[in-house]
Amino acid sequence: MRDYVIRRILGMIPLILIVMIVSFAIFSMVPNPFAALIENPRIKRSDIDRLIKAWGFDLPWYMRFFRWFGGVIRGDWGPSLLYPGSSARDVIALALPVTVRLMGIEFLVALAIGLPIGILSAIKQYSMTDYVVTVVSFMGMSMPTFWFGLLLMMLFSVVLKRPSGMPLLPPGGILTPGLEEASFWVKFLDRAQYLVMPVIVLAFSSIGSWARYMRSSMLEVIRQDYIRTARAKGVPERSVINKHALRNAMIPIVTLIALSVPAIVGGASITETIFNIPGMGKLIIAAETKADYPTAMVGLMLISILVIVFNLLADIVYAWIDPRIKYS
Amino acid sequence: MDNREVLVDIKNLRTFFYTEDGVVPAVDGIDLTIHQGEVVGLVGESGCGKSVTALSIMRLIPDPPGKIVGGEIFFHGEDLLKKSNEEMRLIRGDKISMIFQEPMTSLNPVYTIGDQISEAITLHQKINAVEAKKRTIEMLHLVGIPEPERRYSQYPHEMSGGMRQRVMIAMALSCNPDLLISDEATTALDVTIQAQILDLMRGLQKKLGMAILIITHNLAVVAEMADTINIAYAGKIVESATAREIFKSPRHPYTYGLLQSIPKFTEKRTSEPLPAIEGMVPSPYHMPKGCSFNPRCPFATEKCREEEPELVELAPGHMVRCFHPIES
Amino acid sequence: MAEEMVEITKKRQKKSSEDYTYVGMVFHRLTRHKLAMAGAAMLIVILLFVFVGPLIWRADPNAQIEGIEGMFNAPSKAHPLGTDDYGRDVLARMFFGGRISLFIGFVSAISSTMIGAIVGLVAGYYGGWVDNLLMRFTDAMLSMPTFPLLIALSSVIGKGVSQIILVIIVFGWMQDARLVRGMALSLKEQEYVEAARAIGASANRIMWRHLFPNTLAVLIVSTTIGIGSAIIYEASISFLGFGVQAPFASWGNMLQNAQQFIWKAPRLIIYPGLAIFMTVLGFNFFGDGLRDAIDPKLKL
């Protein structure tokens, strides 16, 4: 097992390098990387020229890559071009907790609803329940998030109003301005209101996928011979499902859960844009379209490395919960 | 033999499967009697309804699509078909237990074999975990598994097929059942292992005294073990007699055909091909009119094609369903 | 010689009749799959709407009605779905936007499946370092967050239908490559492939004549579901402003444009969104049914 992990970790290095080169190559094609600065009237042209030289934009992209890579090895990811004065790492560090809060809640909500209804759907295959779960799951998976987000916004912020005339739920943002210094519970309740719509939007689509995965995994297990054996020895139906079937059906699901964790950090560009949430997804899109490649690279590398690491973790978890798997 | 008390009495059992392509009368009026401590063979080609009969006794017919639509299954004088699901569950694994064809897939891969046997014991007997473990190890020893203490904490994938079938037998016998149903339990095993398992079952039957219903397509399997043999064809019993009678003087043309198709090593080798029964088992969707064997029967007459024969007692204890039984 | 020909013809006939029964069987199962049929019905409605609709309702999608009176008209006889912020006929824009969305969906899904199939076949058939190299690259592509890179690439290569298709293909082939590679690995061990190799069939021939046809059913399912997600991708890219550009309509950019009028004309949000939703749902239902009909155990 130890040798296996070491071998896998060594195998990650070329993977991460490929990811870096491909992402960097895409950004290096941006025709004018200093567009954001040129747009800013407060920055002098000569300063920009100095920056171009200092950051090597007069060099071909692969030379620039080596420079950037040299910095990365020393822990220096470069300055943010979108937010002059801050380093790219600091800009990402600000967006990270916002996204983790949103996506973490969404992830837990989706699992808490998706997995049970998937199980229910499987053990009652071809029943009315199964059809309803299946249809609703597919609707969630097919719903364009931006459309659903706008619909919810129309409902909760335009149609439904509070007695005071304010929208029932705030249409965007993460915290009511002025409450930054408020007590924990006041802030907690305020934040919760901002989270309702984005969480519903994101969870609806992932509930569907989780329910489908869980259902098919459970169906696969339920028709196995050992389930019949359990019934033949008089195991109550509850335990047949909860003990014998679920334990087996969860093996692929736990792996999938491990593989999905990096998405918590990646954020959701569209939903964050609609609800004006300053998270990773929105920031990365803004950084790359405004040619702030250092910031975009920090974000992309963070996500990609997490994906690669969690791939390994998923395999380790798999070996841990399935006694048949042994790595050597 | 008949002075022994009747343990199981199946009367006109009918189990149908309602599929999208039509109704399959998998079991269409099977009658079967098992006395206490008796070894009964149920023999037929695949699709003749023998496994469905076994699952009907256990009340483990997957519903949907299957349903027991008629008949009675008396066990200790009580009709199992009238029992509640909970009453039936308490009988399964305790008074009636079953072993299956596929030892490789019949054990739950994520629990140790010790856990799986102990579970059967604690489900039906009021004993604590320590006693259950002791009893499990005794059972493993009884079925001839070496080093039972070590094997107790092994997973199914660490054992060979023969060993797993021994585990299945240990599990099935752990609560001293009155009836053990063996559904093609040796079919998937190598010939030598097959013989060992049959030996083991015979030895255990003598020692523990339970009745065994052996379901097989292979007459040779029941030849040495069974006291009585029932031959099933297309969901019905076509002949029933003591093993000796069946082999000595088969009366139904189907039984005769089955016996003819067994190679005999005592005979002089000839270049003659082994006689086989012509034709195929009729499709369950298109049962022939009259006797279901008539399209394949060399003796079929107009009457066989029109009317369905009844099961008649031709000699004491020798029942045959045929208008033109072979003379003994 | 003549006898041989007869034999070969017989074999051909046998093979084609077997093919027919396989296709027939899949079709039979498909017609019994309620969701698949619901999906097919939805897709037929959408296709009729998009392709037959403009023949019945002949309005110019880009014609603008000048002046304030032409803007944000409610549905009427003159404009069944009303007009938008430029006074353009929304129904006509829905037709043409749908054509573009569907075109992008079909072309990018089919192309990325084909590229995935080629990569997977080559990797699976040759094995060794070729496989290693291709699969490492595939893994790397899979570990990158698709959507941000989709946006990055479209901001680089420009905004237009063919660019969007290209972008979706670049990030859309990996799953199919893995799938086909796995199938090729097991297929190439089978006797008939061994036999083909023994009689000296070229690598190309084995890949395309012997391995590829066996992956086709799975690829069709994957493409069907892929069309749905490609349409979502197109809409998402257009929604962020990097997709199909005005004055050309796509369901995605109609939605993006409508977003700013959420208070004024909410119906402008309803129509394109509903059309995207229905189309994607239709492809998902149908794809799921197709998978069940081909092989319920298939992991896709």
Q: How sure is the predictor about B3, in pLDDT bands with cuts at 50, 70 and 90?
A: low
Q: Is B68 within the bounds of a domain? A: yes
Do B165 and B239 fall into the same domain? no
Q: Is residue B272 a contact partner of residue B283, using CB atoms and an 8 Å limit?
A: no
* Same domain, yes or no: B83 and B229: yes
- Please state the length of chain A: 328
Give how far A257 is from chain B: nearest CA, Å. Answer: 19
Mean pLDDT check: name the lowest of A4-13, B126-135, C6-15, C220-229. Answer: C6-15
Considering only the beta carbons, identify the residue of B94, B110, B168 that sits closest to A248: B110
Residues B220 and B253 in one domain: yes
- Assess if residue B283 is contained within a domain: no
Question: So what's the pLDDT on residue C12?
Answer: 41
Report chain A residues whose CB lies below 8 A from the CB of C235.
144, 146
Is A263 inside any structural domain? yes
Residues B39 and B145 occupy one common structural domain:
no
pLDDT in tens, A136-177: 999 999 999 889 998 898 888 878 888 887 888 888 878 878
Pick A19's closest partner by Cβ from C144, C147, C285.
C144
Q: Is residue C266 classed as helix, strand or coil in its secondary structure? A: coil
Q: Give the pLDDT of residue C228.
A: 92
Which residue in C135, C144, C229, C257 has the most chain A C-beta atoms within 10 A of its own C-beta, making it the best mutation to test that interface? Answer: C144
The topology (CATH level 3) of C85-294 is MetI-like fold (1.10.3720)
Residues B212-216 have a mean pLDDT of 90
Q: Which of B174, B204, B235 is the last residue of a domain?
A: B174
Model pLDDT for residues A208-219, shown as the tens digit of each residue = 999 999 998 998
Question: What single string gives the DSSP state of each residue in A222-252?
Answer: HTSHHHHHHHHTT--HHHIIIIIIHHHHHHH
Asked whether residue A200 is assigned to any structural domain, the reply reads yes
Residue A202: the pLDDT is: 92
Identify whether residues B109 and B239 lie together within a single domain.
no
B120 shares a domain with B74? no
If one counts every other C-beta atom within 10 angstroms of the C-beta of residue B281, the result is 16
Between A32 and A309, where is the model more confident? Answer: A309
Domain boundary among B120, B153, B174: B174
| pLDDT tens by residue, B47-61 | 788 888 989 999 988
Instruction: Categorize the per-residue pLDDT at B17 as very low, low, confident or very high, splitting at 50, 70 and 90.
Output: confident
Give the range among A66-80, A126-140, A197-211 with minimum mean pLDDT: A66-80
- Among A276, A224, A268, smallest CA distance to A248 is for A224
Q: Please check whether residue A220 touches B, CB under 8 A.
A: no
Using CB atoms, list chains with 3+ pairs below 8 Å to chain A.
B, C
Given this model, what pLDDT does residue C10 score? 43
| A96 domain residue, yes or no | yes
Q: Which of A306-310, B39-43, C239-243 has the lowest mean pLDDT?
A: C239-243
- B74, B98, B184, B239 from B181: Cα distances, Å: 15, 5, 9, 20
What residue in A sits closest to B125 (Cα-Cα)? A234
Residue B267, pLDDT score: 56
Q: Looking at chain A, which residue has its C-alpha nearest residue B98?
A: A232
pLDDT tier at A198 (50, 70, 90 boundaries)?
very high
DSSP B215-279: EES-HHHHHHH-SEEEEEETTEEEEEEEHHHHHH---SHHHHHHHHTS--SSSPP-SSPPP---S
Q: What is the mean pLDDT of chain A?
A: 85
pLDDT in tens, A215-237: 989 988 988 889 999 999 989 99
- State how many domains chain B has: 2
- Tokens 């004065």, residue? A85
pLDDT at position B275 over 80: no
**Do residue B116 and residue B258 come from a single domain?**
no
**pLDDT bucket at A328, cuts 50 / 70 / 90:** low
Chains within contact range of chain B (3+ C-beta pairs < 8 Å): A
**Quick one: tokens of C5?**
């020909």
What percent of chain A shows pLDDT beyond 70?
95
Q: Tell whether A251 lies on the interface with B, counting CB pairs under 8 A.
A: yes
Domain C-terminal end among B174, B208, B235: B174
The verdict on B10 and B159 lying in the same domain is: no
Question: Is B168 found in the same domain as B198?
Answer: no
Domain housing B137: 98-174
Query: How would residue A55 be classed by pLDDT, with cut points 50, 70 and 90?
Result: low
Question: What is the model's pLDDT at position C67?
Answer: 64
Q: Using CB atoms, list chains with 3+ pairs below 8 Å to chain C.
A: A
What is the residue extent of each domain of chain C? 85-294
Pairing of strands B39-43, B228-233: parallel
Overall average pLDDT of the B58-79 stretch: 86
A226 and B97 in contact by Cβ < 8 A?
no
Matching residue, tokens 């394949």: B296
Number of H helices, E strands in chain C: 13, 0
CA B50, CA C223: separation in Å to the nearest integer?
Answer: 44
Mean pLDDT computed over A21-46: 71
Would the pLDDT of A41 be above 80? Answer: no
Decide the pairing of beta strands B66-75 and B78-79.
Answer: antiparallel
CB atoms within 10 A of CB A253: 19
Stronger pLDDT, C88 or B206, i.e. the higher one: B206
Strand B312-315 and strand B318-320: pairing? Answer: antiparallel
Q: Classify each residue of B108-127 as buried b or exposed e, where b means 16 or more C-beta atoms within 10 Å of its C-beta.
A: bbbbbbbbbbbbbbbbbeee
Chain A positions touching C137 (Cβ under 8 A) are: 18
Structural domain contains residue B111: yes
pLDDT tens digits along C126-152: 888 999 899 988 988 888 888 888 888
Nearest CA in chain A to B182: A232
The domain in which residue A155 lies consists of 88-321
pLDDT of residue A34: 63
CB pairs under 8 A between A and C: 126
Are C151 and A151 within 8 A, CB to CB? no
The predicted structure's pLDDT at residue A215? 92
Span of A38-47, A88-97, A308-317, C259-268 with lowest mean pLDDT: A38-47
Enumerate residue ranges in chain C where pLDDT < 70: 1-20, 65-73, 78-79, 87, 296-300
Question: Is residue B306 within 8 Å of B323, Cβ to Cβ?
Answer: no
Please check whether residues B197 and B261 belong to one and the same domain: yes
Give residue-wise pLDDT tens across range C169-181.
998 899 999 989 9
CATH no. for residue A176?
1.10.3720.10
Total domains in chain A come to 1
> Nearest-CA residue of chain A relative to B89?
A234
Q: Rounded to two decimals, what is the model's pTM? A: 0.84
